[in-house]
Structures are given as structure tokens and as C-alpha cells.
Amino acid sequence: MLTAKQQQLLSYIKQHLDQGGVSPSFEEMKEALDLKSKSGIHRLISALEERGFIRRLPNRARALEIVKLPDSLSSSAHAAPGANVVPLRKPTPAPLAASTIAANDVVEIPLHGRIAAGVPIEAMEGQTMLSVPAALLGSGDHYALEVSGDSMIEAGILDGDFALIQRADTARPGQIVVALIDENEATLKYFQPEGRKVRLAPANRDYDPQVYDADQVRVQGRLAGLLRRYN
């Protein structure tokens, strides 16, 4: 079952596709649903994608396609006057350069301080938001951490990079994860479970792996992408 907002967004996407042949931009969806930030739209789209109602088409600016509709939307076109249909703002006609603008859609995700790519440091929680190109993120909920240290440089993760993390509490062996150690220190490392132990391995031959009891380590997310600034 879809939430009211999920159904409202799906209905708006359908209207936009029917009228213009392209899905709406994140900005248009945010305005149509009267949300304050695009991160809310990203979460709604991820939820619809996970439930199989929409899918993203790769390498296209406006890359949403409706796969199926719930019964409530399928029958809404024939609803009687006064039926409980969620009202929507009409899509604004898109300018000629709309598909170029849509390619630059961004979402805002929480930026939770700095994380050590070397020796673990205390995990930091913050309220700062980071604007991220939507194309870098897949399904699910995400947050960002600023990398501190050089122990992951052989994996292409440099000091000062922003690690984009998909929230998760599990990982496959060999994935790069945010690992919380003893509930107060976080680090970015390769995840290698070894029986009752967990090896957190660096990507720098100058550093040794860190080995902990399995109950000392809690996965808080998997690496989904990187942002890098060039000064």
C-alpha cells in the first residue's frame, strides 16, 4: 500500500508523462507536492522504485518510467464527482532546454561530519546538508561523510572527499562500509567478516587491518559514491 504522498507523486508523474512525454524534474515534483527540499522527493522516488511502480532509465536526463499503477490511480480517470482523488498542481509547460536542466537535478542529503579513513575517530552527527547530483544515488536513503585520512587512497578515496553512503546495517564481504566501533568511533574500510571476528581492511599498504570481535562492529552504511572538490 502506498502512502498519500507516494500516491500523489505517482499521479503527478503520470500526468506529466501523459501531457508532455517526459517525467517532471525534481524541482517540479518538489513544487507540486509542496515539499521544502528535493531530498523528500528522492526518498519518495526510491520508495516507489523499490515497490515496482516506477523505474529509472539509465543515461537519460528525465529518466522515470511508470511500470504499474495502484488500483486507486488506475480507476481515478473514471471516478465519480466528489470521489477522494488527491488534487495536484498542473504541470508547468517545460521550456525547450528542460531536459538539459533536468540533467542537473540535485538532492540534499545529511552531511554527518568527518570520518576517518585511517585511525577511527569519534563519529559526528550534524545538521548540515550536502547537495548531490541525483544521478549519483540509487535507491534507498543516503547520507554523506567527509573523509579524513589516507588509508583508502588505493581505492581512490582521498582526504577531503565526500563519501556518499547508502544506509544499511549489513554488507557483503569486500564491500566498503562505514563501521561503528564500540558504538562511538566510526571508520571507512573494507568489510571482511572472519567467523567471530571482523577485519576492517585499509586500501593503503602502509596501514595494517583492524580486527575486532564481531559484536564490537556495527555496519552503518555502504559506500555508494564519492564527491571531490578541486580548488
Report whether pLDDT(173) > 70. yes
Position 203: which residue type? A
List own/partner pairs for 91-95 with CB under 8 A and 24 or more apart: 91/12, 91/15, 91/16, 91/19, 91/20, 91/24, 91/28, 91/32, 92/28, 93/20, 94/20, 94/22
Choice among 74, 148, 189, 197 that is catalytic: 189
CATH 2.40.50.140 for the 4-102 domain, yes or no: no
Residue 52 — pLDDT band, cuts 50, 70, 90?
A: confident
Mean pLDDT of the chain: 78
Q: What is the DSSP code string of 40-79?
A: HHHHHHHHHHHTTSEEEPTT-SS-EEE----HHHHTGGGP
Choice among 11, 30, 151, 197 that is catalytic: 151
CATH 2.60.40.420 for the 106-227 domain, yes or no: no
Q: What is the pLDDT of residue 63?
A: 66
pTM of the model: 0.57
pLDDT tens digits for range 104-161: 577 788 888 888 766 555 555 555 888 888 777 777 888 899 898 899 999 999 999 9
Q: What is the pLDDT of residue 203?
A: 93
- Let me know: does 107 contact 31? Beta carbons within 8 Å: no
Q: What is the CA radius of gyration of the chain?
A: 21
User: Is 37 marked active-site?
Assistant: no
Q: What is the pLDDT of residue 137?
A: 78
Q: What is the pLDDT of residue 178?
A: 93
Q: What is the DSSP letter of 94?
A: P
Distance in angstroms (rounded) separating the CA atoms of residues 143 and 221: 9
User: Is 99 marked active-site?
Assistant: no
- Let me know: does 144 contact 163? Beta carbons within 8 Å: yes
Domain ranges of the chain: 4-102, 106-227
